[in-house]
Structure 1
Amino acid sequence: MSISRKIHFEISERKILLRVFDIFFVLLVLFLIGKYFNFTYFQITASNYYWTIVLALYITSIGTIFEMYNLQIANNKFLILRSTILTTAVTTLLYLLTPFYTPILPSNRLQIVYFFVAILFALLLWRNLYIYFLAANRFVKTVLFVGSSKKVESLVEELTRVNPHYKVIGFIATDDKTVKTTLQSLSLSELESFFSKHYISEIVVTNDNSKVISVALYSQLLKLLEKGIVIRQYAEVYEYSTNRLPIHFEDKELYKFFPFSRSNQNALYAFYIRFLDVLLSIIGLLGLLCILPFIILFNALWNKGPLLYKQERIGKNGIPFEIYKLRTMIVNAEKDGAVFAKVNDIRITSFGRFLRKTRIDEVPQFINVLKGEMALIGPRPERPVFVDEIAKNIPLYQTRHVIKPGLTGWAQVNYPYGVSLEDSLMKLRYDLYYIKHRSLFLDINIVMKTLSTILFARGQ
Structure 2
Amino acid sequence: MIRLFKHYIPHAVLLLGLIDLVLLYVAGEAAWHVRAHQLAIDVAPPSERIASLGVFVGTLLLAMISVGVYGSDALRSTRFALARILVAVSLGVIALTFIDFVARGLDFWRSTLIYTMFIAIALLLVNRLIVGGLLGTGAFRRRVLVLGAGRRALRLRDLAERPNSGFVIVGYVAMSTADPVIKEAIARSAINDLNNFVQNLGPSEVVLALEERRNALPLKDLLRIKTAGVHVNDFSSFLERETGRVDLDTLNPSWLIFSDGFSSARMVSSIAKRAFDIAASGVLLLLTFPIILLFALLVKIDSRGPAFFRQTRVGLYGEPFELIKLRSMRTDAEKDGAKWAQKDDPRVTRIGRLIRKVRIDELPQAWSVLKGEMSFVGPRPERPHFVTDLEGQLPYYAERHMVKPGITGWAQINYPYGASIEDARHKLEYDLYYAKNYTPFLDLLILLQTLRVILWNEGAR
TM class by smaller structure: 0.7 to 0.9
| Structure 2: unaligned runs, 5 residues or longer | 1-7
Partner of 2:207: 204
- The amino acid across from 1:362 in the alignment is E
Q: CA deviation at 1:324?
A: 0.9
Partner of 2:402: 402
Conserved 8 A contact 1:208-1:249:
no
| Structure 1: unaligned runs, 5 residues or longer | 1-9
User: Quick one: structure 1 residues 27 and 153, their matched pair in 2 at CA, closer, same or farther if it must change by over 3 Å?
Assistant: same
Partner of 1:352: 352
- The amino acid across from 2:120 in the alignment is I
Conserved 8 A contact 1:303-1:328:
no
Q: Alignment identity in percent? A: 28
Q: CA deviation at 1:430?
A: 1.1
More deviation in 444-453 or 89-98? 89-98
User: Quick one: structure 1 residues 123 and 158, their matched pair in 2 at CA, closer, same or farther if it must change by over 3 Å?
Assistant: closer
- The amino acid across from 1:80 in the alignment is A
Conserved 8 A contact 1:68-1:83:
yes
**CA distance in structure 2 between the aligned counterparts of 1:69 and 1:31, rounded to whole angstroms:** 24
- Confirm whether residue 371 of structure 1 aligns to residue 375 of structure 2: no
Partner of 1:219: 220
Partner of 1:116: 117
Deviations 1:411-453, CA, capped at 9 Å, x for gaps? 1111110111121111111111111111111111111112222
- The amino acid across from 1:421 in the alignment is I
Partner of 2:12: 14
- The amino acid across from 1:149 in the alignment is G
- Confirm whether residue 28 of structure 1 aligns to residue 37 of structure 2: no
TM-score by length of 2: 0.87
User: Quick one: structure 1 residues 252 and 182, their matched pair in 2 at CA, closer, same or farther if it must change by over 3 Å?
Assistant: same
Deviations 1:211-254, CA, capped at 9 Å, x for gaps? 4335xx43333333333222212222211111111222223424
User: Quick one: structure 1 residues 392 and 148, their matched pair in 2 at CA, closer, same or farther if it must change by over 3 Å?
Assistant: farther
Q: CA deviation at 1:455?
A: 2.8
> What value does the CA root-mean-square deviation take over the aligned residues?
2.8
**CA distance in structure 1 between the aligned counterparts of 2:409 and 2:74, rounded to whole angstroms:** 21
Partner of 2:3: none
Conserved 8 A contact 2:358-2:457:
yes
SS across alignment from 2:249: helix
Taking the TM superposition and a 5 Å limit, the aligned residue runs for 1:147-158 are: 147=148, 149-158=150-159
Q: CA deviation at 1:145?
A: 0.8
Q: What is the number of equivalent residue pairs in this alignment?
A: 444
Question: Which of 75, 100, 107 is the matching residue for 1:103?
Answer: 107
Taking the TM superposition and a 5 Å limit, the aligned residue runs for 1:149-188 are: 149-158=150-159, 160-161=161-162, 164-188=165-189
- The amino acid across from 2:10 in the alignment is S
User: Quick one: structure 1 residues 332 and 307, their matched pair in 2 at CA, closer, same or farther if it must change by over 3 Å?
Assistant: same
Conserved 8 A contact 2:148-2:211:
no
**CA distance in structure 2 between the aligned counterparts of 1:236 and 1:222, rounded to whole angstroms:** 18
Q: CA deviation at 1:301?
A: 4.0
Partner of 2:4: none
More deviation in 123-132 or 23-32? 23-32
**CA distance in structure 2 between the aligned counterparts of 1:281 and 1:27, rounded to whole angstroms:** 33
Conserved 8 A contact 2:86-2:121:
yes
Taking the TM superposition and a 5 Å limit, the aligned residue runs for 1:263-274 are: 263-264=265-266, 266=267, 268-274=268-274
- The amino acid across from 2:345 in the alignment is D
Taking the TM superposition and a 5 Å limit, the aligned residue runs for 1:47-196 are: 47-99=48-100, 100=104, 102-105=106-109, 109=111, 111-147=112-148, 149-158=150-159, 160-161=161-162, 164-190=165-191, 191=194, 195=198
More deviation in 329-338 or 311-320? 311-320
TM-score by length of 1: 0.87
More deviation in 40-49 or 294-303? 40-49
User: Quick one: structure 1 residues 12 and 424, their matched pair in 2 at CA, closer, same or farther if it must change by over 3 Å?
Assistant: same
**CA distance in structure 1 between the aligned counterparts of 2:106 and 2:123, rounded to whole angstroms:** 20
SS across alignment from 2:274: helix
**CA distance in structure 2 between the aligned counterparts of 1:446 and 1:342, rounded to whole angstroms:** 25
User: Quick one: structure 1 residues 153 and 101, their matched pair in 2 at CA, closer, same or farther if it must change by over 3 Å?
Assistant: farther
User: Quick one: structure 1 residues 36 and 341, their matched pair in 2 at CA, closer, same or farther if it must change by over 3 Å?
Assistant: closer
**CA distance in structure 1 between the aligned counterparts of 2:113 and 2:181, rounded to whole angstroms:** 62
